[in-house]
Amino acid sequence: MAQETATEKKTNPIVKFLRIPENYPDEAAYFWGMQCGACDAKFLGARLACGKCGETDKLSEVKYGGDGEIYVFSVVHQTVPGLEAPYVGAIIDLDDGVSIRANVYGLDPEKPDSSWFGKRVKMFTEVTAQDRDGNDVVAAKFKVQE
């Protein structure tokens, strides 16, 4: 009879451009991507070629910070089962020069306001689900900076 071995529980990012360090949550998760050495264009995640100039040999991996500002937002009133609505979804321009779509917390979705445009936000992460193997799935979210 085969002996079962316990598999170690893993922590996996919900998107490929979110890195989860081995000692998470003691060490913060972060966004990563590529920067083109020819034209300085920046992208989230892996690239084989620059989407701006087509360069293939001068791409380097970079770590991006989690601070930015709301470029545009929408209040979402309908969603899939398991997600609370309404919530604020936004495109966030990170200070490092890339943009990301994420949910923003700390704003009242019942009272949207034009003052939210340009509002400073900071990334945080949390376990949002477990996959089929019981591993934690971590998502990046943003909260309003005071």
- pLDDT score for 107: 97
Instruction: Indicate the pTM of the whole model.
Output: 0.87
- pLDDT score for 54: 97
110: alpha, beta or left? (left if phi > 0; alpha if psi -120 to 50): alpha
pLDDT band for 5, please (50, 70, 90 cuts): low
* pLDDT (tens digit per residue) in 58-113: 999 999 999 999 999 999 999 888 788 999 999 999 999 999 999 999 999 999 99
Nearest to 22 by CA among 34, 35, 9, 32: 9
Nearest to 146 by CA among 109, 110, 111, 119: 119
Residue 133 is classified by DSSP as T
Q: What is the pLDDT of the chain when averaged over all its residues?
A: 93
Q: Tokens 């050495």 map to which residue?
A: 37
